């Protein structure tokens, strides 16, 4: 049975990928960011404070201040980085989204690739 293309790895394993998740506080976001970089699952992480989220959870509308984490990686790392975030994340159902930019500077992409392929 074929995998659902929305959850399977992207077709081109050498394409730049930006993985996004939200976290409850800066301490948790920083710890996850460092762990992802140290594990060579991401080359660079950007952390944005001041995100205000409104969502429905278990039938109740919730409002929370959150931290947005954006990890730069390559598409071949999708399954591993997704599993790592799920395992490390404090939320029962974490937001984990991946975007592959149509255009990006090739030298930057080569640097990202070298960081996520390197396991030294």
Q: What is the pLDDT of residues 55-102, one digit of tens each?
A: 999 999 999 999 999 999 999 999 999 999 999 999 999 999 999 999
Among 7-11, 12-16, 93-97, 105-109, the range with the most confident prediction by mean pLDDT is: 93-97
Torsions phi, psi for 116 (to 5 deg): -85, -20
pTM: 0.86
Label each residue of the chain as H, E or C.
CCCCCCCCCCCCCCCEEEEEEEECCHHHHHHHHHHHHHCCCCCEEEEEEEEEEEEEECCEEEEEEEEEEEEEEEHHHHHHHHHHHHHHCCCCCCCCEEECCCCCCHHHHHHHHHHHHCCC
- Per the CB < 8 A criterion, the answer to whether 16 and 74 are in contact is yes
Q: Which two tokens stand for residue 93?
A: 């159902």
Q: Give the domains, in start order, of the chain with CATH numbers.
A: 16-115 (3.30.70.120)
Q: Which two tokens stand for residue 61?
A: 């509308």
């Amino acid at each position: 049975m074929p995998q659902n293309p929305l959850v399977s790895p992207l077709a081109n394993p050498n394409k730049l990928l930006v993985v996004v998740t939200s976290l409850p506080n800066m301490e948790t976001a920083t710890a996850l960011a460092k762990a992802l970089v140290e594990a060579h699952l991401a080359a660079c992480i950007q952390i944005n404070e001041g995100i205000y989220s409104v969502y429905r959870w278990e039938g109740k509308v919730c409002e929370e201040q959150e931290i947005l984490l954006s990890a730069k990686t390559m598409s071949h790392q999708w399954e591993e980085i997704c599993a790592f975030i799920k395992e490390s994340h404090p939320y029962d159902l974490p937001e984990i989204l991946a975007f592959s930019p149509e255009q990006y500077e090739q030298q930057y992409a080569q640097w990202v690739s070298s960081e996520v392929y390197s396991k030294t």
